[in-house]
Each structure stands twice: as structure tokens, then as C-alpha cells.
Amino acid sequence: MMLVHLLASLLASSSLAQDHRLVDDGATREVVPWTSPGMIQSPVAFTIDRFGRVYVVESDRAGNAVSDTRQLGHLNGVEEDLLLKTVEDRRVLIRRWVEGGHFDSDFFTRTEDRVRMVQDTDGDGLADEQHVFAGGFNDEVDGIAAGVLVHDGKVYFTNIPSLWVLEDEDGDGVAERRESLSYGYGVRWCFYGHDLHGLVLGPDGRIYFSMGDRGFNVTTKEGRHLFGPDRGGVFRCWPDGSGMELFHVGLRNPQELAFDTWGNLYTGDNNCDSGDRARVVHVLEGADSGWRQDVQSLPSRGPWNR
């Protein structure tokens, strides 16, 4: 029985990419797990560098320190959430809940999100080594970590409220340097999973990423103010974090981003559970797709479905 690694075969086969035919050469192929049980936990996203090392985003905070308004109704969660305008407003709200005895004092900091490096060191086609590349993302307003990209020897990592760049400066497989390139994402609790994600390198050399309708209140390195606490969108910046722009706004929960051969950008966006359809969006520069999170709590979603 011949073992092949399905993903590598698919990516390497240009004819398959063009005409979508399955390989029929009489060989037997078996799909097996690349990682062994327990090697990774709670994976959310991953990417691969040029050495074949896999960077896996893991979240222990999902469903713990990071909740949403559907679980916070006993704390007047929706009404409180709609008042939030900055990440720091959410921090104040968290501390008020803790001081009021609604949560343990360490509830919002005792779990972390992280980036784990996984690799095949002996070339047998199976992962045999893993370690934490960058951990300790457990600030009370952190999470859910949901995006990772390797570019020019650096690891870009999206974890509300920041776009991070992580760098292994001495080659030991651990990031010694971390810098928040942009801060202010995830103003609201909103809905679980409406996070900062979708990292991709654009054909123009800029980094693109998506934000769900937990919203944003961001001041760029140049001092521009990007404000939308009730909406999601797509952003882009240069690899050093400069030139940050709101590329497209009015999305509910755009997940991954993908460019086609001609540089057109697309994303998938979630429906709002009221009869509208999930959709593939052609992400156009300067456009507004119309969603505002404020209507989520209205009967039939108010004007969104009219």
C-alpha cells in the first residue's frame, strides 16, 4: 500500500487544479492523520512555512473567557454590549462583572490562546515534534485567536484586540519578539466566533485580514481613526503595520479571504439566522455590504430583511 500525502499531491498537480479530475492510476492511497492524538488542542487556524513547519492557532479561551451575549443575558448582556464603543469599555465591563461577584477573579485571565509549531523532523511524513511558538495571550480582553500567516520570516497572528507580528530571532523555534501592529478590534462581545481572522498576503504585497461584527475602534500608525463598533469588514496594511486601511465594511462575519488569478478578493459571510442566506462576497475596495450588528436583536432583524 502506497501512502501519499493528499494535500501535497493536490497542490502539486497543476492539471488537477485546472480540470478538477481525480487521479486514477491504479495506486492505492490511504489518508492518515498527520498529527498524533494530543499533539494539538482546540485548533482554530493553521499555516505552513517554507520549511514545512506548521503553525497552529489554539484557543483555550473559546467558550471560557470568551463568551457572547446569548450566554450573558442574565447580566443584561445585549443592552450592555450595544453601549460599548472601545475595547477599553469592554475591559471596564469585565471588571465590573468580576467585582460584582458574577465571575471568579481570574476567570478572564486563567486560560490562554497560543501559536504552536508542529513539524516532521525525521522525514517520514508524520508530525513528531511540537512546542509552543508563542503563548500567554490571556489578557482579559483577548480572544478568540483565529488567524495566522507566515511572510518574510515573520508570523502574523490575529487575536482580538490586536494584529500581532511574531518573530523567532535566534532560530530556536520560539518567538522572542512580539509586536502589536494594530489594536482596537473586538469592541463588543456580540456573537461567539465573530472574530479577527482571514490573514492573507495580497498581490500588492499588503496583508489583508477580516473582522466580524464584534466591531473595531482603531487608530492607525499615521493617526487615522477607523470606527465601526457595530460592523465587520476587511482591512489591509503593509507588513510593518503602516498604511492600515478599512478596505470593505458592512460584513457580519467574514471568515477566510481568497484572491483569484486576477486579484479579485472574495470572502464567505454568515447569515443572521433569520431567513437570509450565507453568501460569498466579492470584496470591493470602498464598498459597504450593509450589515450593522445593532439589528441582530430586532424582530426579523429590522431593515436588514426588508
Q: What are the residue ranges spanned by the domains of the chain?
A: 1-32, 33-305
End-to-end Cα distance, the chain: 58
Mean of pLDDT values over 175-185: 98
Q: Which fold has domain 33-305?
A: Neuraminidase (2.120.10)
CB 159 within 8 A of CB 113: yes
* pTM flag (> 0.85): yes
- Nearest Cα to Cα of residue 184 among 154, 239, 221: 221
Say what the pLDDT of residue 163 is: 99
d(C-alpha 84, C-alpha 230), whole Å: 9
Confidence tier at 70 by pLDDT (50, 70, 90): confident
Mean of pLDDT values over 156-177: 98
Residue with cell 500500500: 1
Say what the pLDDT of residue 303 is: 72
pLDDT tens for 241-288 read 999 999 999 999 998 999 999 999 999 998 888 778 889 999 999 999
What percentage of the chain exceeds 90 in pLDDT? 75
Say what the pLDDT of residue 306 is: 65
What secondary structure letter does DSSP report for 203? Answer: T
Say what the pLDDT of residue 21 is: 66
Confidence tier at 69 by pLDDT (50, 70, 90): confident
- Joined grid coordinates for residue 65: 473567557
Confidence tier at 304 by pLDDT (50, 70, 90): low
E strand intervals along the chain: 43-48, 54-59, 113-119, 129-137, 145-151, 154-159, 162-167, 177-183, 196-201, 207-211, 216-219, 225-228, 232-237, 245-251, 257-259, 265-269, 279-283
